[in-house]
Amino acid sequence: MSTDNAVTYWDGVYAARAAATDPRPNVRLTETVTPDAGLSPGDALDLGCGEGGDALWLARQGWRVTAVDVSAVAVERLTGLARSRGLGDRITAARHDLRTSFPQGTFDLVCAHYLHTPLDLDRATVLRSAAHALRPGGRLLVVDHGSTAPWSWDQDPDLRYPTPHEVAADIGLDPAAWPVERAATSRRTATGPDGRTAEVTDHVLLIRRTI
pLDDT tens per residue, range 42-75: 999 999 999 999 999 999 999 999 999 999 999 9
Higher pLDDT, 16 or 171: 171
Sign, CA torsion 150/152/156/162: negative
Residue 4 has what pLDDT?
56
Which runs of consecutive H residues, i.e. helices, occur in 33-107?
A: 53-60, 72-84
User: Residue 43 is which amino acid?
Assistant: D
- CA 132 to CA 119: how far, in whole Å? 24
Q: What is the mean pLDDT of residues 106-123?
A: 93
Closest CA to 65 of 52, 78, 51, 55: 55
Closest CA to 31 of 143, 171, 162: 143
> pLDDT tens-digit profile of 117-147?
888 899 999 999 999 999 999 999 999 999 9
175-181 CB contacts, 8 Å cutoff, 24+ apart: 176/210, 177/209, 177/210, 177/211, 178/131, 178/140, 178/207, 178/208, 178/209, 178/210, 179/207, 179/208, 179/210, 180/205, 180/206, 180/207, 181/139, 181/206, 181/207, 181/208
Q: Can you give the pTM of this predicted structure?
A: 0.93
Half-sphere exposure of 119 (CA within 13 A, CB side): 16
Sign, CA torsion 9/10/13/18: negative
Domains and their CATH numbers in the chain: 3-208 (3.40.50.150)
Per the DSSP assignment, residues forming a β-bridge with 186 are 202
Closest CA to 52 of 27, 30, 19, 28: 19
Three-state DSSP at 157 gives coil
Taking the C-alpha atoms of 93, 117, 25 and 46 in order, what is their torsion angle to the nearest 10 degrees?
-40
Residue 2 has what pLDDT?
47
Residue 120 has what pLDDT?
85
Residue 1 has what pLDDT?
42
Which of the residue ranges 22-31, 55-64, 163-172, 184-193 would you say has the lowest mean pLDDT? 184-193
Per the DSSP assignment, residues forming a β-bridge with 145 are 202
Residue 47 has what pLDDT?
98
Say yes or no to pLDDT of 106 above 90: yes
pLDDT cut 90: percent of the chain above it: 78
The confidence band for 157, taking pLDDT boundaries of 50, 70 and 90, is confident
